[in-house]
Chain A
Amino acid sequence: SQTIHQWPATLVQPVGSPLSLECTVEGTSNPNLYWYRQAAGRGLQLLFYSVGIGQISSEVPQNLSASRPQDRQFILSSKKLLLSDSGFYLCAWTVGNGGPSYGYTFGSGTRLTVV
């Protein structure tokens, strides 16, 4: 069966420090991968999505970046965190060649607090 792993679960980082969040998927090949952010008390904002290795699409211009070095690995990074980067970050995957009816499976999330 397919599983998605996301870590760390909780992170407290000072302003200006770097960030690396990792997400891996098991039990499937060539998934579509997504990073979402959920700010406190708000909905989910799509940050990045990827349909294949090295293919990254950015939805929101900001100081975050994403990379997909392997088929089932998706990394969210920042060189210098801002206070506004605080939030709950969720990784998700869906079937790569599937149609719109395929649901998404989400990781358990990383709660990032920038201090």
Chain B
Amino acid sequence: GNSVTQMEGPVTLSEEAFLTINCTYTATGYPSLFWYVQYPGEGLQLLLKATKADDKGSNKGFEATYRKETTSFHLEKGSVQVSDSAVYFCALSPGTGRRALTFGSGTRLQVQP
């Protein structure tokens, strides 16, 4: 079946540091890949997505590239801010079937001033 594996958190960084949150997936066919962000006490918001191999999703300074050869979709940001503190979820939507999202376990990011 489909699965998503994320690096365990929390990840603690100083402001302006470089961020990488690793995400790898297992899926049949050609899934679409997503990163969602959850701020404290809120629901999930779509951060970025990529729908085919080598696509790069980007938003708010975050980027992730769909790497089919390594089945990865790592999230990166060059300079984090305190306001980026949140839980980040990697997810996939399969190319066929019911299309329900499969989520990773989430990675908590804490950015210190």
Contacts and interface: CB of A to CB of B under 8 A. Distances in A.
Interface residues of A, number: 27
Contacts of A99: 32
Interface residues of B, number: 26
Contacts, number: 61
B51 A106 contact: no
Contacts of A109: 42-43
Interface of A: 6, 32, 34, 36, 42-44, 46, 49, 51, 57, 59, 90, 92, 94, 99-109, 111
Interface of B: 30-32, 34, 36, 41-46, 49, 51, 89, 93-95, 98-106
18 contacts: A32-B99, A42-B105, A43-B104, A43-B106, A44-B106, A46-B101, A57-B98, A90-B43, A92-B101, A100-B30, A100-B32, A100-B94, A100-B95, A103-B34, A104-B46, A106-B36, A106-B44, A108-B42
